Structure 1
């Protein structure tokens, strides 16, 4: 699909990179939004990237709609000729899979689920053709995920699995959304994983919970003092399964201000990744060792 441009009112330019979600569409969206940000176009006030598209807010008193369209189209043409490489970070996220809190919640809402007789993890394993829950957890935590966008509620990351399309885990959302989801639940809907930044309603399958805060409006947590939202598009996430004693210990570290996420700066080359996804993922994960 050719990139589709459209205006939203007098102040927004919407750019659709593809109709389908894919790593190619996501990376094109990310590359273009980074280039637009670096270009410092006069009149641009906000850039909002999404999974396969993005939106630009601009001041029409400073730049005319057709002028910003030409600027962005020029950036698209230039971006197509440059190496698809970004500077980003890989982050290890500890996850207590099959925890008692999300399990209690999912049992309260079984009448809204496709299979009221199974847990979310049991259902997810079955629809993905995996032998059991342990096999599904290995598949979920066995490869990294790209943060493709942050939103829906403040600080919530949507993540796209960095594997061949045929190997991507896919699980439908609940038939009817829940009215409750524990804070920091690891969720999954369609091909996307997420982390619920706050407690609230939701329709994604629930697989576990992390002790690591990702949103702090008070900015009292050490690694969130500069900005209340932890994730940004382009981050790479590696889930690490932990047991309850490790989860409890991490909660204590968070409460005492000693918890520090494991983060490493990395350079990501999309073309090299496409040539050997398994090998490239192993290289990325090696940065966390």
Structure 2
């Protein structure tokens, strides 16, 4: 697809890299938005990257819409030639699958689900061709995930599974959204995973919960004191399955400000990943665990 530019009222330009999510679209969008940020174009007031697209808010009294459109197109040409490499970090996120809180919640909303007779995990396993929930859970946590954007609600990451497209977990959202979702729920809708940063409504299937806070507007959590939002676009996430005892222990450590997520710096090269997906993921795991 050719990049599509469109105006959003008098103060916005929306730029869509592709109609479907891909790492190529993400990298191109990221390259352009980084270039926009570095260019310090007078009149731009906000840059909002998303899954393979972005939106620019600007002051039309300071820069004419057509002029800004031309500047963005020029930056796109430079982005096409940019190296598809990202200096980022890989983060281990503990997950309590089949926890009692999301289980209780999903059972309250079965009339809004495609299959009221099964749990979200049972439904997702069947939709993705797995014989058991255990096999599905393993497929969910065995490979790393890429944070393609942060938003919708404050601090919520959208995650894209780093495997061949034929192996990516896909499952539809609820037929009608729930009016309740526990904070820190690990959810999934379409091809995207997420972590619900706050309690509230939601339509993604619920697989489990993490004891690791990812959003703290009070900035009292030890690793969120510098910035209230944990995730950044481009982060790589590895889920780590835990049980109730581990969940309670981490929760206590968070409350006592003793918990620190496992984080390692990594270089992610898109061309290398596409050439050897399993090999790239293995190297990411080795970096995460210091092998």
TM-score class normalised by the smaller sequence? over 0.9
1:105 is displaced (CA, Å) by 0.8
The answer for the alignment partner of 1:214 in structure 2 is 214
1:199 is the counterpart of 2:204: no
1:6 is the counterpart of 2:20: no
1:183-239 CA-partner distances (Å, limit 9, x unpaired): 100000011000000111111100000000011111111111111111111111111
1:33 is displaced (CA, Å) by 1.4
1:27 is displaced (CA, Å) by 2.1
The answer for the alignment partner of 1:138 in structure 2 is 138
Pairing of 1:36-51 with structure 2 (within 5 A): 36-51=36-51
1:61 is displaced (CA, Å) by 2.6
Structure 2 distance, partners of 1:254, 1:34, is 34
The answer for the alignment partner of 2:124 in structure 1 is 124
The answer for the alignment partner of 1:269 in structure 2 is 269
Structure 2 distance, partners of 1:40, 1:284, is 34
Structure 1 distance, partners of 2:58, 2:268, is 30
Structure 1 distance, partners of 2:156, 2:108, is 23
1:154-198 CA-partner distances (Å, limit 9, x unpaired): 111111111111111001111111111111000000110000001
The answer for the alignment partner of 2:53 in structure 1 is 53
TM-score, normalized by length of structure 2? Answer: 0.97
1:60 is displaced (CA, Å) by 2.1
The answer for the alignment partner of 1:79 in structure 2 is 79
Structure 1 distance, partners of 2:104, 2:167, is 30
Structure 1 distance, partners of 2:268, 2:38, is 18
The answer for the alignment partner of 1:284 in structure 2 is 284
CA contact under 8 A between 2:214 and 2:231: conserved in structure 1?
yes
Structure 1 distance, partners of 2:284, 2:72, is 31
Structure 2 distance, partners of 1:10, 1:139, is 46
The answer for the alignment partner of 1:227 in structure 2 is 227
Structure 1 distance, partners of 2:223, 2:68, is 36
Structure 1 distance, partners of 2:146, 2:202, is 21
CA contact under 8 A between 2:22 and 2:52: conserved in structure 1?
yes
The answer for the alignment partner of 2:156 in structure 1 is 156
1:252 is displaced (CA, Å) by 0.4
1:142-161 CA-partner distances (Å, limit 9, x unpaired): 11111111111111111111
1:11 is displaced (CA, Å) by 1.6
The answer for the alignment partner of 1:166 in structure 2 is 166
Runs of 4+ in 1 over 6 A off after TM superposition: none
Structure 2 unmatched ranges of 5 or more? none
Structure 2 distance, partners of 1:158, 1:5, is 23
Structure 2 distance, partners of 1:137, 1:74, is 45
What count of residue pairs does the alignment treat as equivalent? 289
1:250 is the counterpart of 2:256: no
RMSD: 1.1
Bigger mean CA deviation after superposition, 225-234 or 122-131: 225-234
Structure 1 unmatched ranges of 5 or more? none
